[in-house]
Amino acid sequence: MTEPLTELGIPAFRSGTESVPTTDEKQTGKDFTSDQEVRWCPGCGDYAVLKAVQSFLPDLGLRRENIVFVSGIGCSSRFPYYLDTYGMHSIHGRAPTIATGIATAREDLSVWVVTGDGDALSIGGNHLIHTLRRNVNMTILLFNNRIYGLTKGQYSPTSETGKVTKSTPMGSLDHPFNPVSLALGVEATFVARTIDSDRKHLTGVLAAAAAHRGTSLVEIYQNCPIFNDGAFDAIKNPDTKADALIPLVHGQPVTFGATLDDGPMAGKGAKALVRDEQTGGVKIVATADVAAEDIVVHDAHSPDPTMAFAISRLTDAGYLNTSPIGIFRQVERRTYDDAAREQVSVASNGSANDDAADRTARLAALIGGGDTWTIL
Amino acid sequence: MGTGLFHAATRLMWRSGEHSPGLVGSRAQVSHPAKQVKQLDRVIIRFAGDSGDGMQLTGDRFTQETAAFGNDLVTLPNFPAEIRAPQGTLPGVSSFQVHFADHDILTAGDAPDVLVAMNPAALRANLGDLPKGATIIVDSHDFTARNLTKAGYSDNPLDGDTLAEYALHTVDLTGMTVEAVREFGLSRKDASRAKNMFALGLLSWMYGRPTESTEAFLTKRFAKVPDIRDANLTAFKAGWNFGETTETFVVRYEIKPAVMPPGTYRNITGNLALSYGLIAGGVQSGLSVFLGSYPITPASDILHELSKHKGFGVMTFQAEDEIAGVGAAIGASFAGQLGVTTTSGPGVSLKSEAIGLAIMTELPLVVVDVQRGGPSTGLPTKTEQADLLQAMFGRNGEAPLPIVAPQSPGDCFDAAVEAVRIAVTYRTPVIILSDGYLANGSEPWRIPALDELPTIDPNFATSKNYGDGDDAEFWPYLRDDATLARPWAIPGTPGLEHRIGGLEKGDGHGNISYDPANHDFMVRTRQAKVDRVADSLPPLEVDDPDGRAKVLVIGWGSTYGPIGAGVRRVRKAGYHVAQAHLRHLNPFPNDLGEILKRYDRVLVPEMNLGQLSLLLRGKYLVDVVGYNEVRGLPLKAAVLADVIGGLVAEAEGIEVDLTPTSTDQESVR
Q: Is the pLDDT of residue A70 over 60?
A: yes
Residue A247 DSSP SS3: strand
Residues B167 and B274 in one domain: no
Contact A371 B267 (CB under 8 A): yes
With both helix axes pointing from N to C terminus, report the angle between B212-221 and B226-245 in degrees, rounded to the nearest 10. 160
| Cα B250 from Cα B36, distance rounded (Å) | 6
pLDDT at A350: 65
B404 in the same domain as B381: yes
Give the span between the Cα atoms of B63 and B42, in whole angstroms. Answer: 14
Q: How far apart are CA A178 and CA A314, in angstroms?
A: 10
- Partnered with residue A69 across adjacent β-strands are A87, A112
Q: Give the predicted TM-score (pTM) of the model.
A: 0.91
Whether residue A363 and residue B450 make contact (CB cut-off 8 A), yes or no, is yes
| Phi, psi dihedral angles at B658 (to 5 degrees) | -95, 20
The reply to whether B387 and B422 lie within a common domain is: yes
Cα–Cα dist B345/B360, whole Å: 22
| DSSP-derived pairing of the beta strands A215-221 and A138-144 | parallel
Tell whether B369 and B435 lie within a shared domain: yes
- What is the DSSP secondary-structure string of B149-178? HHTT-SS-TTSTTTTTTSEEEEE-HHHHHH
- Measured in residues, chain A has a length of 376
Mutate to test the interface with B, among A30, A34, A64, A371 (most CBs of B within 10 A): A371
For residue B61, the model assigns a pLDDT of: 95
Residue A10 has pLDDT above 90, yes or no: no
Residue B494 has its nearest CB partner, among A34, A65, A104, at A65
Residue B602 covered by a domain: yes
Picking from B329, B361, B492, the nearest residue to A109 by CB comes out as B492
User: Residue B395: inside a domain, yes or no?
Assistant: yes
Cβ-based contacts of B289 with chain A (< 8 Å)? none
The three-state secondary structure class of B96 is strand
Nearest to B497 among A73, A85, A102 (CB): A85
Is there a domain that residue B16 lies in?
no
| Best residue of B102, B333, B357, B499 to probe chain A, by most A CBs closer than 10 Å | B499
Decide: A57 and A43 in contact? Cβ < 8 Å: no
- Stated as kind and residue range, the H or E segment containing B603 is strand B601-606
One DSSP character per residue, A146-158 reads: SSBTTTTSB--TT
Check whether A4 has a pLDDT greater than 80: no
Tens digit of each residue's pLDDT (9 = 90 or more) over B596-644: 999 999 999 999 999 999 999 999 999 999 999 999 999 999 999 999 9
What letters, b where the CB count within 10 A reaches 16 and e where it falls short, cover B117-128? bbbbbbbbbbbe
The CATH number linked to B567 is 3.40.50.920
Residues B398 and B474 in one domain: no
Closest CA in chain B for residue A20: B492
Residue range A29-239+328-338, CATH number: 3.40.50.970
Closest approach of chain B CAs to the CA of A27, in angstroms?
14
Question: Is the pLDDT reported for residue B666 higher than 80?
Answer: no
- A213-237: buried (b, 16+ CB within 10 Å) or exposed (e) per residue? bbbbbbbbbbbbebbbeebbebbbe
The per-residue pLDDT for B11 is: 29
Write the residue in A36, A126, A343 that is nearest to B320 by C-beta: A126
Q: Would you call B52 helix, strand, or coil by DSSP?
A: coil
Beta B167-171 vs B429-435: how paired, if at all?
unpaired
Q: CB–CB of B501 and A349 under 8 A?
A: no
Query: Cα Rg for chain A, rounded, in angstroms?
Result: 23
Alpha-carbon distance A189 to nearest alpha carbon in chain B (angstroms): 19
| Res B23: pLDDT | 31
Nearest by CB to residue B213, choosing from A87, A347, A371, is A371
Reported as a pLDDT band with limits 50, 70 and 90, residue A7 is low
Mean pLDDT of B464-489: 97
Q: Is the pLDDT of residue A221 over 80?
A: yes
Return the half-sphere exposure (C-beta side, CA atoms, 13 A cut-off) of residue B398: 13
Phi, psi dihedrals of residue B349, rounded to the nearest 5°: -55, -45
- At A112, which helix (H) or strand (E)? strand A110-116
Q: Rounded to a whole number, what is the distance in Å from the CA of A290 to chain B's nearest CA?
A: 47
Which among B434, B429, B384, B387 has a CA at the least distance from the CA of B409?
Answer: B434
- pLDDT for res B10: 30
Non-local CB neighbours of A31 within 8 Å, separated by 6+ positions: A58, A64, A84
Question: How far is A155 from chain B, CA to nearest CA, in Å?
Answer: 24
* Cross-chain residue pair B279–A366, CB shorter than 8 Å: yes
How large is the average pLDDT for residues A4-15?
57
Domain count within chain B: 4
- Of A230, A40, A217, nearest to A115 by C-alpha is A217
Q: Among B315, B356, B448, whose Cβ lies nearest the Cβ of A340? A: B315
The string of pLDDT tens digits covering residues A86-126 is 999 999 999 999 999 999 999 999 999 999 999 999 999 99
Q: Are residues B581 and B600 in the same domain?
A: yes
State yes or no: cis peptide before A264, omega within 30 of 0.
no
Chain B hits for A97, Cβ within 8 Å: 292, 319, 323-328, 331
CA separation for the pair B71, B321 (Å, rounded) = 42
Contact A368 B495 (CB under 8 A): no
pLDDT tens sequence across B230-276: 999 999 999 999 999 988 888 899 999 998 899 999 999 999 999 99
- Four-residue CA torsion sign, A24, A28, A31, A34: positive
What DSSP character marks residue B379?
Answer: B
CA A347 to chain CA centroid, nearest Å: 33
Question: Are B464 and B431 found together in one domain?
Answer: no
Measured in angstroms, the CA of A115 and the nearest CA of chain B are apart by 14
Alpha carbon distance A109, B335 (integer Å) = 9
The span from the CA of A69 to the CA of A76, in Å, is 12
Contacts of B261 in chain A (CB under 8 A): 375
Q: Which of A97, A105, A359 sits opposite B324 (nearest CB)?
A: A97
* C-alpha to C-alpha distances, B309 to A5, A366, B305, B440, nearest whole angstrom: 30, 9, 7, 20
- Please state, in angstroms and rounded to a whole number, the distance separating the CA atoms of residues A305 and A219: 17
| Alpha-carbon separation of residue B170 from A96, B115, B207, B244 (angstroms) | 61, 12, 19, 16
- What ipTM describes this predicted complex? 0.96
The answer to whether the CB of B113 falls within 8 A of the CB of B134 is yes
Report percent pLDDT > 70 for chain B.
93
Q: Which of B346, B340, B284, B343 is nearest to B316 (CA)?
A: B340
Residues B210, B297 within the same domain: no
Mean pLDDT estimate for chain B: 92
User: B296: helix, coil or strand?
Assistant: coil
Which residues of chain B neighbour A126 with C-beta distances below 8 Å?
Answer: 320-321, 324
Are residues B349 and B392 both part of a single domain? Answer: yes
Q: Are residues A104 and A341 in contact, defined by beta-carbon separation less than 8 angstroms?
A: yes
Kindly state whether residue B73 falls inside one of the protein's structural domains. Answer: yes
pLDDT over 60 (residue B14):
no
Measure Cα distances from B119 to B127, B134, B425, B612 in Å: 12, 18, 54, 41
Pair B278, B186 in one domain: no
Mean pLDDT of A43-63: 96
* The predicted structure's pLDDT at residue A1: 37
Q: Which CATH number characterizes residue B324's domain?
A: 3.40.50.970
Inter-chain touch B264–A80, beta carbons under 8 Å: no
**Does the pLDDT of residue B134 top 60, yes or no?**
yes
Nearest to A105 among B64, B335, B413 (CB): B335
Tell me the CA distances in angstroms from A150 to A147, A154, A156, A196, one per residue in order: 9, 9, 12, 18
Q: Give the pLDDT band (50/70/90) at residue B583.
A: very high
On the 0-12 / 13-18 / 19+ scale of CB atoms within 10 A, B668 is middle
Q: How far is CA B221 from CA A136, B202, B216, B229, B306, in A?
A: 37, 21, 8, 8, 21
Q: What pLDDT is recorded for position B32?
A: 52
What is the structure's pLDDT at B33?
54
> Closest Cα to residue B488, out of A112, A101, A86?
A86
Predicted pLDDT at A12: 54
Cβ contacts of A53-58, under 8 Å, gap ≥ 24: A53/A79, A53/A83, A53/A141, A53/A206, A54/A29, A54/A83, A55/A29, A55/A203, A56/A203, A56/A206, A56/A207, A57/A27, A57/A29, A57/A32, A57/A83, A57/A85, A58/A26, A58/A27, A58/A28, A58/A29, A58/A31, A58/A32
| Angle formed at CA A255 by CA A251 and CA A261, multiple of 5 degrees | 115
Q: What is the pLDDT of residues B529-581, one digit of tens each?
A: 999 999 999 999 999 999 999 999 999 999 999 999 999 999 999 999 999 99
pLDDT for res A13: 66
- Is residue B5's pLDDT more than 60? no
Instruction: Say what the pLDDT of residue A242 is.
Output: 95
In a domain, B294, yes or no: yes
Residues B189-214 pLDDT 10s: 999 999 999 999 999 999 999 999 99
Q: Which residues of A touch B500 (CB under 8 A)?
A: 87-89
For an interface test with B, give the residue of A335, A367, A376 to mutate (most B CBs within 10 A). Answer: A367
Quick check: helix, strand or coil at residue B482?
Answer: coil
Secondary structure (DSSP) of A4-33: PB-TTS-B----TTTTS-B--S---GGGGB
SS3 (DSSP) at B560: helix
Count of CB contacts below 8 A, A vs B?
216
Among B399, B432, B452, residue at a domain's last position? B452
Length of chain B: 669
**Residue B449: closest C-alpha in chain A:** A364
User: Does residue B664 sit within a domain?
Assistant: no
Which chain B residues contact residue A24 at CB under 8 A? none
Q: What are the chain B neighbours of A374 within 8 Å (beta carbons)?
A: 263-265
* Domain boundary pick from B214, B231, B254: B254
Contacts of B312 in chain A (CB under 8 A): 348, 359, 362-363, 366
Phi-psi region of B47 (alpha: psi -120 to 50; beta: other; left: phi over 0): beta
Q: Exposed, middle or buried, B243 (CB in 10 Å: 0-12/13-18/19+)?
A: buried
Q: Which residues does B188 contact at the CB level (< 8 Å), separation at least 6?
A: B178
Choose from B350, B497, B504, B509 for mutation: most chain A CBs within 10 A.
B497
User: Taking the mean position of all CA atoms in its chain, how far away is CA B186?
Assistant: 37
Convert the pLDDT of each residue in A152-199 to its tens digit.
999 999 999 999 999 999 999 999 999 999 999 999 999 999 999 999
- Residue pair B606/B385 in contact (Cβ under 8 Å)? The answer is yes
Q: Sorting pLDDT into bands at 50, 70 and 90, what band is B660?
A: low
Percent over 90 (pLDDT), chain B = 88
Q: Alpha-carbon distance B253 to B66, whole Å? A: 13
Q: Nearest by CB to A101, which of B286, B332, B353?
A: B332
Separation of alpha carbons A66 and B490, rounded Å: 10
Beta pairing partners, B430: B366
- Per the structure, the complete domain to which residue B362 belongs is given by 265-452
| Chain segment B17-64, per-residue pLDDT in tens | 333 333 333 333 344 556 789 999 999 999 999 988 999 999 999 999
B2 by Cβ neighbours in 10 Å (0-12 / 13-18 / 19+) ranks as exposed
A373 neighbourhood in chain B, CB within 8 Å: 67-68, 70, 264-266
Identify whether residues B287 and B182 lie together within a single domain.
no
> What confidence score (pLDDT) does residue B80 get?
84
Domain boundary (B254, B286, B315) is at B254
Contact A109 B335 (CB under 8 A): yes
